[in-house]
Structures are given as C-alpha cells and as structure tokens.
Amino acid sequence: MAGTGEEELVFKSITEIGDLYRSKKVSPVEVTNTVLKRLDELNPKLNAFITVMAEKALQKAHEAEEVFMKGETAGKLYGIPISIKDIFRTKGIKTTAGSRILKDYIPDEDSALYNTLNDAGAIVFGKNHMLEFAYGFVHPDYGQCNNPWDFNRTAGGSSTGSASAVAAGIGFASIGTDTGGSIRLPSSFCGIVGLKPTYETVSRKGLLHLSHSLDHIGPLTRTVKDNAIVLESIASKKVNYDAVFSGSIKGLKIGVIRSLTDSRAHPEVPNLVNSAFQLLGESGAEMMDIEIPGIDAVMEIAFPILLSEASFYHKGWYPELASDYAAGTAENLKEGFNVPAVSYLEALARKRTFAEKVNAVFDDFDILVCPTSPSPATERDPTFEDTTYDYTQRTLPFNVSGHPAITVPAGVTPSQNLPVGIQFIGRYFDEATIYRAADVFQTVNGGYKIPCPLAVGK
C-alpha cells in the first residue's frame, strides 16, 4: 500500500483513515506503526501513557489489514488506533487507575467498554495516564501528564493522558470518564472535543468507579464527527448519527448560561466564548441569556455524593493503605467516611430536584451553552483546594443532572496561545442536537488546530 506523510496521517479524521483503508492506499499496520512511533517520540515529554500494548495492537492491525485487502465489510472504527483511560479493566493487562495501590493489578475480566471496542475492530494500543482513581490528584509515583500546547503545563484531569494523546496525534480517539468534568476539562485544556454523554449511555461494567451516581463514560476526539463515530460504537443502544450533520443550525434556540459565562473567569475566556456565541448567532441560531435556578449551589449537592460513594469503593484499602495514596486522595477518602447517611440521602434527593430544574429549561431551549473551564491550562493540576478558580463550576452541574455535554475548542488566548473550550448541553439522550450545533461551530471556527509545538513534529 502506498504511504502517506506521518505528520499528515496522524491528524486525519477517523473517516479519512477508513477511506484510505478501503481504497487500499494506507494499511492499518502502517497507521498503527506510525501511531506507536509517535508515542515513543512524544511520550517522554507528555507522560500520557501508563501501559503501551504495542504487540497486541500490531497483531490486530495485521488482522485488520487482511480484512481490507479482501474488500470485506468493516465498521467505522475497524482498524482505527484508539487509547483508553487506565481505569477500565483489561483482562491480563495491567490496570492501575494511576495509583500505587493497583500498580501490579492485572484483572481477570475485561470491562464492557474494552470488549465493545474490540468487537468494533478498534485497535486499542495503550492505556492512558490519569489522576489517581479519577479523584483530582496525580500520584507522585506517576507524575504529571503534560499539555501538547505547552509541555510545561498540565493536560488537565482526570482523563489527562487521554486528552494529551489525542491532541498530540497519538491515536485518533480515546475513551475517558467524567464525574465532575474529567473528560471536558482536559479536552478544553488540550484544544480537542470531549463528550460526557447522557448518564448510563455507555455501560460502566468493569469500570473502577469513583462515584456511581455521577460517573459517565465518553469519547475524546479531535473533531465532532469523529466523536459521534466513536459514540455510535460504544453506546449501549444502537445509534447512527450520519443524518445529524446537516451543516445548519438555523432556528435552533440556544440559551447562554450567563452566570457560568461571566463569573470569576480568566479575563480572556469570556472574550473568546462570547465571540463563539456571536458566531453561533451569525450561523442562524437564536441566542438568549438564561439562568438555571440552583446552579450556584450544585457543589453542595455533588460533594456529599462524591465523597461518600468514593469512600465506599475504597473501604477495602483505606485506611490500611492510606500512606500509599496521593496525599490529597487520602484526605478526600477520610472526609468521605465522615459524611452522615442523612446528608448523602438528602443530596440524592436534591440531585433529582436539580435535574428537574435543568429539564424545565429545555421546554424553551434546544441547547444550553457556557464556557467549559474558567481558564486555559494551568502549570499544575487544579485541585479541589484551589481557591483561585473553581474548575468544576461549569461542568459538574451536568454530572449532577445527567444531561449530555460536549466541549469544543473556541479559540486560543492571545497572551499565551492556549486553548479555551465552549460547552454545549442538551436534552437527555439528544446527543444528536449538540453534535449538530458543535459541528457547525467547529466548522465555522476553522476546524481542528494542531498544537503549535507539534505542528512541525517538534
């Protein structure tokens, strides 16, 4: 099969790679080798992977090559190199969750997510670095994962390696988890597309849970259309988004969550996001400011749930292994055991009430929008204790309510050339509408932009 330049190849879309396979212009083996080579070159700077499955990936690539050479029918993800967050169990393959506690853990079963990707023919070539147990702190044994836009800044978290890898052209997608923004925040920091689908859209069987009431599984990609392709393959119910991308949002009613757009933000973020809102209006959407009752108190709902459920999952390790956790993780687990049952149950009741309030807003609007993060990427990972910015204020509400939310790059800051994301929120199980709007916005805003330090492979 004829070759294609490596830099050009790794940043192609999933559809483009599939077309090259079917036309026999490029081989899955060639693409997989190129991705693995790029991983070897860039991972020392990024620290985006905990485990690399090169041998297994190349075996699957050779199998995929045979399928395409014979002209057999293959799905959209067939032969596509993809990584997964190291929080999904993989039989016979180390699964660490970014922690010393599980540094040698080799599961005897696969997660549903990993099985689904294998069944779709995807080539899972590595398991991504992450904040410890997805709980907001990197373990010192593993070190910080860095941002391809600036190697001296964090990629965000907790799906930190997933976002860093996809933005750097190491694979065409990754699968992460999102409990309070852990897909969307690193996607915003790294200038890619990240979706938290409707609660329970993707099976969580075999996931190492943080909080079963708030955990979501979703894809990180470079384009909105790629994101839809991945969700089609991993969703529990059969979906097809081919007809979604009409290229038009004329008449779509979009509500701007003004309190989340203007509050305590980095000074350049509102400018970029408001320019994005203007582009949506110029593209035919009807834009109007809105407020969601109770959204300012959502942390009071989420934290009793998150803290107590996380501690429940760690009761077999904590406090006996307390010294093996990152200090911040251990402190959170300690706090979780102190949450009264009444407070936990009250929080669950308030969670249902808040979801009803968000639902009511969709009586008048098709989509809600706001910034994804209050700032571009920071030098160190933001934590729960960070008092400068509240990093989950814009993402956490939709883990509590369970509505689908996707982040798309809105542009880069003039002062530091760092990405900023805009978030689209939709009705339950209406990923189609937020995909349509996000795709139109990404298109009129110039499409995916390769991180400047990597644009020439450096």
Tokens 């509050």 — which residue? 263
Q: Which element (helix H / strand E) includes 344?
A: helix 341-361
Catalytic residue among 83, 182, 187, 373: 182
List Cβ neighbours of 453 (8 Å cut-off, separation of 6 or more).
148, 149, 150, 151
Catalytic residue among 60, 85, 127, 351: 85
Task: Report the alpha-carbon distance of residue 217 to residue 231 in Å, rounded.
Answer: 10
Catalytic residue among 83, 99, 158, 375: 158
Catalytic (active site) residue 182? yes
The 10 Å CB-count burial string (b at 16+, else e) for 266-284 is bebbbbbbbebbebbeebe
Neighbours of 299 (CB within 10 A): 17
What are the structure tokens assigned to 228, written together? 């839809």
Task: Report the alpha-carbon distance of residue 98 to residue 105 in Å, rounded.
Answer: 11
Task: Report the alpha-carbon distance of residue 118 to residue 60 in Å, rounded.
Answer: 9
What are the structure tokens assigned to 297, written together? 């108190």
Sheet holding 216-221, edge to edge: 49-52, 123-128, 81-85, 174-178, 216-221, 193-196, 405-412, 419-426, 367-371, 253-257, 286-290
Cβ atoms of 91 and 107 within 8 Å: the answer is yes
Burial class (CB in 10 A: 0-12, 13-18, 19+), 250: exposed
Cβ atoms of 89 and 112 within 8 Å: the answer is no
Neighbours of 48 (CB within 10 A): 31
Count Cα neighbours of 146 within 13 Å in the Cβ-side half-sphere.
Answer: 14
Cβ atoms of 448 and 222 within 8 Å: the answer is yes
Please list the active-site residues: 85, 158, 182
